[in-house]
Amino acid sequence: MRLCVFCGSSLGVSEAYREAAQGFGAALARRGIELVYGGAHVGLMGALADAVLAAGGRAIGVIPEALLERELAHRGLTDLRVVASMHERKALMASLSDGFVALPGGIGTLEELFEVWTWSQLGLHQKPCALLDVDGFYTGLIAFLDHTVAQGFVKPKQRQALLVESNPEVLLSRLTLVAPAPVTH
């Protein structure tokens, strides 16, 4: 199984975010789940990938040429794929993955998660989408999403399709239960 993880290219202000990224990476490796992510060596992205690799796991990075040229690429990955654009990056990450998880991050993290979650709503895939809510990072977003349901813009079934957990092991167990059979990559 491969999981695509979206997260910040910075570390954020709380040490809990880095610790969560490292713990999640180690948990992926322990379970034999391969990481697919944005390919950078910085921020939570780098902490996540380093933890996967340190625990003997596999990490596949997908990075656009423009970011590679800025020397943001993680050079120690199992597989680093260079693409021409952000659009190609997201499409390849999605095609390589059996599910999606967002750790703390900024607007890029949210945009990536919302895109794949929208694709699920449209029936373009049946892969699970999830939030790892580290120290209440996503509490406000979750409340807003519940508000969109109450206001009739999101169907309850679609809101429930976005898994939310604060415990990484519980989240991984839930993802494993709902993920479709892995596709050949």
What SS3 class is residue 59? strand
Domain-by-domain residue ranges, the chain? Answer: 2-175
Question: Is the pLDDT confidence value at 185 over 60?
Answer: no
What SS3 class is residue 135? helix
Q: Comparing 31-45, 60-74, 147-161, 164-178, which segment has the lowest mean pLDDT?
A: 60-74
What phi and psi, each to the nearest 5 degrees, are found at residue 182? -55, 140
Reported confidence tier of residue 183, pLDDT bands at 50, 70, 90: low
Mean pLDDT over residues 38-64, rounded?
97
Say what the pTM is.
0.94
Where do the H-state alpha helices sit in the chain? 15-30, 43-54, 65-69, 86-96, 107-121, 139-150, 156-161, 168-178
Top-level class of domain 2-175: alpha beta
Summarised one tens digit per residue, pLDDT across range 113-146 is 999 999 999 999 999 999 999 999 999 999 999 9
Amino acid at the residue 131: L
